[in-house]
Amino acid sequence: MKQVATTLGIPVPFSVGSGYALQALAVMPEDGSYSTSNGLADLLHLPAPFLAKVLKVLAQGGILQSVRGPRGGFRLARPAHCVTVRDVLDALDGEMTLPGCQMGSTRRDCSDNPCVLHRALEDLRTYMDASLFQITIRDLQIQHLCRQRELVKAQRRLNPQDSGNITALLPLPPRFVGEK
């Protein structure tokens, strides 16, 4: 059974591994350079062995390219704006499915004459699925960069005697501004 992730204590329909994958993809460069699984794990404070397995599955699923050796690692196989969150979830978790009937009906009963709860959950799954096809890895990268900039600004406010221009270290690249 896959480990289920939670957000604010509410189970979300994808695995912990998928959450780690999305975090790693959000910081992966688009310039064609390779990132090592250990480097990504250190940067994101994630368990390196587990992240390495997740990245390997993404490479097998065509989301990433991998190269072995001292200059190897992982990189996006396609431009970030062409990879959706749904693509990543499909590669790692497969199709989103509903759990068995929450009202205790047998599979056949629920399929032949679905209860109100079943219909509502199916509608929710359909909506989530459609929404996840609209969010790309580029969107996650933009969000990550914006959060990094905000963190740097906050650090600068807390430590104003630092004379260096810290915010210049994390400029928002022009290719990210307003681009979908």
Is position 125 within any domain?
no
Q: Is residue 63 a part of any domain in this protein?
A: yes
Q: How far is CA 43 from CA 7, 46, 47, 142, in A?
A: 22, 8, 11, 17
> What CATH code is carried by the domain that includes residue 88?
1.10.10.10
pLDDT of residue 10: 45
Q: How many domains does the chain have?
A: 1
- 180 residues of the chain, pLDDT tens digit each: 355 454 444 455 678 899 999 999 999 987 889 999 999 999 999 999 999 999 999 999 999 999 998 888 999 999 999 999 999 998 998 776 655 666 666 655 566 777 777 777 778 778 888 888 889 999 999 998 888 888 878 877 777 665 455 444 444 444 444 444
Helical H segments across 36-75, by residue range: 37-44, 48-60
Q: What is the pLDDT of residue 163?
A: 45
The Cα 47–Cα 49 span in angstroms is 6
Q: Is residue 16 part of a domain?
A: yes
Residue 75: domain span: 4-96
CA separation for the pair 156, 163 (Å, rounded): 9
